[in-house]
Amino acid sequence: MNAALKPLILIVEDEGDLVTLLKYNLEKEGFRVMSAADGEEALLLANEQTPHLVLLDWMLPLMSGLEVCRQLRRNPKTRDIPVIMLTARGEETDKVRGLNSGADDYISKPFSPTELVARIRAVLRRASPGLAEELLRFSDIVMDLAAHRVRRAGRDVHLGPTEFRLLRHFMQHPGRVFSREQLLDVVWGHDVYVEPRTVDVHIRRLRKALNNDDEEADLIRTVRSAGYALDQKSA
């Protein structure tokens, strides 16, 4: 996916740890992310950058998320930007709903990153169809991220979860070479210790599944001492 076509999400949240976590998960899913720690900064950024969606915490210093949402709706430039409000579990959610803040959706903390990404995609699909593209294509490979399905030349390709994440990363950056360490970070996460050669094992499995046991051209290029890339020219 071209970087300019990736949806831009503005996170408005004053808890640094949560911002870091959200950023990590959203970038992994192919979104561009920027963040603001308070309402004023959020309104400035939204006005300057016109993000595709605002993820807005209800509990903010100085100006509440609710007020930020109202002001976004008052400005013609930001009026149509979809807003997902983050609230604490329980009554806050009802309060936000009752106050009719103009948010498009609400999600209560704590939430799973998977649930959040699904909600973001749903809201984006309604607001700007075509933007929340969930199909990745490369050569004769089609990857349906929503259905978690991969097809090559019309044939179903069955991948384990690790191979699926590897392929998704390659398909989001075709032609780019990634070192084993970079792939470990992206696919297994920063905190998990995995031997770099584990990457080779999963690349082998991915190749086997994609190439239908060597019947089809190998699209994964091994770059000696550098890593791997998804490429037309196979080694």
User: Using the rule CB under 5 A, which residue among 8, 34, 37, 59 binds Ca ion?
Assistant: 59
118 secondary structure, DSSP code: H
8 vs 59, which CB is nearer to Ca ion?
59
Amino acid sitting at position 140: D
Q: Please identify, using beta-carbon distances, which residue of 45 and 203 lies nearer to Ca ion.
A: 45
Compute the least distance from the CB of residue 13 to Ca ion, in Å: 5
Residue keyed to tokens 């992310």: 33
Give CA–CA dist 98/7, Å, rounded.
Answer: 29
CA angle 155, 157, 158 (to 5 degrees): 145
Which C-beta is closer to Ca ion: that of 36 or that of 183? Answer: 36
CB of 111 to Ca ion, least distance (A): 14
- Residue 67 binds Ca ion (CB under 5 A): no
Residue 42 — φ and ψ, nearest 5°?
-60, -45
Q: Please tell me the count of residues contacting Ca ion according to CB under 5 A.
A: 3
Mark 117-137 as b/e (b = at least 16 C-beta within 10 Å): bebbbebbeebeeeebbeebe
142: Cβ–Cβ under 8 A, 6 or more apart, which residues?
Answer: 135, 136, 150, 151, 152
Binding part of the chain for Ca ion, among 32-40, 49-57, 105-113, 205-213 by CB under 5 A, reads: 49-57
At its nearest, how many Å lie between Ca ion and the CB of residue 60? 6
Q: Which of 1, 8, 14, 205 binds Ca ion (CB under 5 A)?
A: 14
CB of 55 to Ca ion, least distance (A): 12
CB of 230 vs Ca ion, minimal distance in Å = 39
Give the shortest CB-91-to-Ca ion separation in angstroms.
16
41 touches Ca ion (CB under 5 A): no
Q: 53 with 82: CB under 8 angstroms?
A: yes
Q: Does 92 bind Ca ion (CB under 5 A)?
A: no
Pick the closer one to Ca ion by CB: 64 or 139.
Answer: 64
Among 26, 36, 57, 103, binds Ca ion (CB under 5 A): 57
How far is the C-alpha of 157 from the C-alpha of 95, rounded, in Å? 46
Strand 32-36 to 149-152 pairing:
unpaired
φ and ψ at residue 143, rounded to 5 degrees? -115, 120
Residue type, 103: A
Closer Cβ to Ca ion, 57 or 163, answer by number:
57
Residue ranges in contact with Ca ion by CB under 5 A: 14, 57, 59
